[in-house]
Amino acid sequence: MEKLLELKNVHVSFHTYGGEVKAVRGVSFHLEKGESLAIVGESGSGKSVTSKAVMRLLPNKTSEIKEGQILFEGKDLARLPEKGMEKIRGKEISMIFQDPMTSLNPTMTIGKQIMEGLRKHQNMSKSEAQERAINLLKLVGIPNPEIRIKEYPHQFSGGMRQRVVIAIALACNPKVLIADEPTTALDVTIQAQILDLMRDLQKKTGTAIILITHDLGVVANLAQRVAVMYGGTIVETGTVDEIFYNPKHPYTWGLLSSMPKLNAESKELLAIPGTPPDLLNPPKGCPFAARCPHAMQVCLNHMPESTKVSSTHQAACWLLDERAPKVEPPEAALVGGAR
């Protein structure tokens, strides 16, 4: 498989009155052509900051990509001048956000908003762009697109607005689509429809997708691989099967335990006790140690290195060290039949 995007040891900090917030601390992962990778982790793990670093959408004055590389087709996006980034953002790599209302302009028709990018990046005439806009609305499942392109965002339901946002993101046939919690603001049935749509579109267009979510439950149907993020680091990566059926990191166990099971008698969700680390003052050892039921002395003092479980599966946990005691995942983390 061909690596389309690769992050190598990326560090991102915010400079605040309280000090330096080390939001992303040495993140490495890659995205292959046409695949879909989910990044999961609780709120505050650094998922959005990582994806905004790729898009270079972080505030210039208060934040900084301190270290590392973001490689895309031979270019390092971490250091690319803004002029170069403008050719990539929205064209080669596009992003959709959680709230479809804030990503659309309320004073502009849907058609105009879709056509904007087409005219800018693809040099299309007005009529070409209009035809393409209608086709895009069809592609994302919006009925009567010829009429609806003349309407405004408030005339669309939440789910339909998110479809429009997806149409805009796909307008220029990007190679990568980053979807940051694309369904979190929607109700459950609409969530499922949008995820189905994204899966369909990926098949049709071959766009590689990075799906960001705090909910492992939504990844099973859409992603091929998963990266689990915590405390500004990636604690485990693997194929969907490896993460669901053979998870190695206690944080992943916690996330799996807090996922509703299809075949479970009790619908009670187990939240992971405790809170994520303070990134103004990150722990020097494993970021999860303070909440981990299996933490050892070494976990508090030394950051665990990423250990290979298979050629596609890695986890950063001292339990994988040969000297560590053998620990089995808790019953609640066993997925059995959840997929």
Ligand X SMILES: Nc1ncnc2c1ncn2[C@@H]1O[C@H](COP(=O)(O)OP(=O)(O)O)[C@@H](O)[C@H]1O
Please, which residue, 222 or 229, has the CB nearer to ligand X? 229
- The residue from 5, 10, 21, 299 that contacts ligand X (CB under 6 A) is 21
- The residue written with tokens 């917030």 in the block is 21
Q: Does 178 bind ligand X (CB under 6 A)?
A: no
Please, which residue, 48 or 252, has the CB nearer to Mg ion? 48
Cα–Cα distance for residue pair 278/291, rounded to 1 Å: 13
Return the number of other C-beta atoms located less than 10 Å from residue 336's C-beta.
12
**From the CB of 166, what's the least distance to ligand X, in Å?**
20
**From the CB of 185, what's the least distance to Mg ion, in Å?**
12
Q: Is the dihedral of CA 85, 87, 92, 96 positive or negative?
A: positive
Q: Does 227 bind ligand X (CB under 6 A)?
A: no
Site for Mg ion in 45-64 (CB under 5 A): 48
Please, which residue, 41 or 329, has the CB nearer to ligand X? 41
Q: Does 103 bind Mg ion (CB under 5 A)?
A: no
Contact yes or no for 141/163 (Cβ under 8 A): yes
- The residue from 1, 2, 17, 43 that contacts ligand X (CB under 6 A) is 43
Q: Does 46 bind ligand X (CB under 6 A)?
A: yes
Q: Does 211 bind ligand X (CB under 6 A)?
A: no
* Contact partner at residue 45 from Mg ion, ligand X, none, CB < 5 to 8 Å by partner kind: ligand X
Cα–Cα distance for residue pair 197/141, rounded to 1 Å: 8
**From the CB of 180, what's the least distance to Mg ion, in Å?**
6
* Contact partner at residue 23 from Mg ion, ligand X, none, CB < 5 to 8 Å by partner kind: ligand X
**From the CB of 278, what's the least distance to ligand X, in Å?**
8
* Residue 261: φ, ψ to 5°: -100, 135
Give the type of residue at 189: T
DSSP conformational letter for 135: H
Please, which residue, 48 or 113, has the CB nearer to ligand X? 48
Q: Does 47 bind ligand X (CB under 6 A)?
A: yes
- The residue from 7, 26, 31, 41 that contacts ligand X (CB under 6 A) is 41
- The residue from 4, 5, 7, 14 that contacts ligand X (CB under 6 A) is 14
Helices 110-122, 126-139: axis angle to 10 degrees equals: 120
**From the CB of 47, what's the least distance to Mg ion, in Å?**
5
Q: Does 315 bind ligand X (CB under 6 A)?
A: no
Return the number of other C-beta atoms located less than 10 Å from residue 91's C-beta.
17
* Burial (CB count within 10 angstroms: exposed 0-12, middle 13-18, buried 19+), residue 96: buried
Beta bridge partners of 19: 16
Cα–Cα distance for residue pair 160/150, rounded to 1 Å: 15
Please, which residue, 48 or 257, has the CB nearer to Mg ion? 48
Q: Under DSSP, is residue 310 helix (H, G, I), strand (E, B) or coil? A: strand
Q: Does 252 bind Mg ion (CB under 5 A)?
A: no
Please, which residue, 262 or 280, has the CB nearer to ligand X? 280
Cα–Cα distance for residue pair 164/142, rounded to 1 Å: 8
Contact yes or no for 276/231 (Cβ under 8 A): yes
CA R_g for the chain:
21
* Residue 315: φ, ψ to 5°: -145, 145
* Contact partner at residue 46 from ligand X, Mg ion, none, CB < 5 to 8 Å by partner kind: ligand X
Q: Does 216 bind ligand X (CB under 6 A)?
A: no
Please, which residue, 130 or 191, has the CB nearer to Mg ion? 191
Contact residues for 310 (Cβ-Cβ < 8 A; gap 6+): 238, 242
Query: Which residue number places its CB atom closest to Mg ion?
Result: 48
Interface contacts to ligand X, rule CB under 6 A: 14, 16, 21, 23, 41, 43-49, 279
